[in-house]
Amino acid sequence: MDLATGESAMQSVALARVRYDATTGLVPVIVQEAKTREVLMMAYANREALKRTLATGQAWFFSRSRQEYWRKGATSGNTLNVLSIWVDCDADSLIYWVEAVGPACHTGERSCFYRTLVSDSMAEQADKLSGEVSIERSIEKQMDDSARKVLDNGTDFTLLADLWDTVISRQSEMPAGSYTTYLFTQGMDKIAKKVGEEAVEVALAAKSSDAVRQREEVAAESADLLYHLLVLWSASGVSPADVMAVLRSR
């Protein structure tokens, strides 16, 4: 049933016909933008999550890691308005056709599928690069004179302060459905791994031969790195003031 128009699909399938995994009771759900057919994300749902989706017109899923229901956009506001649900021939996979309100990915990307898979050898080169490039040198290399002047004149870091407040709040309240909550529950190993991965992404973005794309990708990947770094600080009991104090001493 098309939730937006009320019109029947080419063939209708009753909720009872959906085949869930015998062990988990879940069915994979691909989320696509209805107009462009762009794949936005992939998650899992069970019968109750599907019932909630059909009843509300909002995308509901079931988290395998947290073992709880979650509605996309409950904390971020980036909701998915479900226009129709499609069932594959075996009735064991679903597609949500949606109208996305804001980015679908927790990183801020429109789609969760914004990276390409590379061979193990290329991944090893990236790991090697991350180990060889020091933070200090990469900053000096990418920061031109105009950028230095902006920093010297006092760049507005209000957004970073707001992000820090949000991270601290998430650590204290641990709201369900929050990616930040997920990171804290996974512990330091997961958080540290994410910081390492995002640092590699920044370094790789900086090596782009396309100048315009380089700036865009470095900015986007740096935003991801800064967010995960703040989470790591919070998990380590370190505050921005502690880091600033070290910088001042240098």
Element (H, E) at 98: strand 94-100
**Domain shared by 139 and 207, yes or no:** yes
> Residue 107 falls within a domain, yes or no?
no
Q: Where residue 30 sits, what CATH number does that domain have? A: 3.10.20.810
Burial of 196 (0-12, 13-18, 19+ CB in 10 A): middle
Query: With 80 as the cut, is the pLDDT of residue 197 above it?
Result: yes
| pLDDT (average), residues 63-86 | 92
**Domain shared by 132 and 208, yes or no:** yes
**Domain shared by 134 and 91, yes or no:** no
> Residue 140 falls within a domain, yes or no?
yes
Six-digit token string for 156: 């507005």
pLDDT in tens, 28-49: 999 999 999 999 999 999 999 9
| DSSP 3-state of 25 | coil
**Domain shared by 85 and 43, yes or no:** yes
Residue 85 CA to residue 31 CA, distance in Å, equals: 9
> Residue 23 falls within a domain, yes or no?
yes
**Domain shared by 87 and 189, yes or no:** no
> Nearest to residue 5, comparing CAs of 91, 120, 82?
82
Helices within the chain (DSSP H only): 47-56, 120-132, 135-142, 145-152, 158-173, 179-186, 188-206, 211-236, 240-249
Domain that holds residue 46: 15-100
More confident residue, 210 or 99: 99
Distance of CA 204 to the CA centre of its chain: 19
pTM: 0.48
**Domain shared by 48 and 150, yes or no:** no
Calculate helix-pair angle for 158-173, 211-236, nearest 10 degrees.
40
> What pLDDT is recorded for position 38?
94
> What pLDDT is recorded for position 214?
84
Residue 109 CA to residue 152 CA, distance in Å, equals: 30
pLDDT in tens, 223-239: 899 999 999 999 999 98
> Are residues 111 and 31 in contact, defined by beta-carbon separation less than 8 angstroms?
no
**Domain shared by 149 and 219, yes or no:** yes
Query: With 90 as the cut, is the pLDDT of residue 247 above it?
Result: no
**Domain shared by 71 and 168, yes or no:** no
Residue 63 CA to residue 45 CA, distance in Å, equals: 8
Element (H, E) at 42: strand 39-45
> What pLDDT is recorded for position 150?
41
Q: How many domains does the chain have?
A: 2
Return the biggest CA–CA distance within the chain. Answer: 69
> Nearest to residue 202, comparing CAs of 218, 223, 179?
218
pLDDT in tens, 116-146: 877 777 766 666 555 544 444 444 444 444 4
Residue 250 CA to residue 248 CA, distance in Å, equals: 5
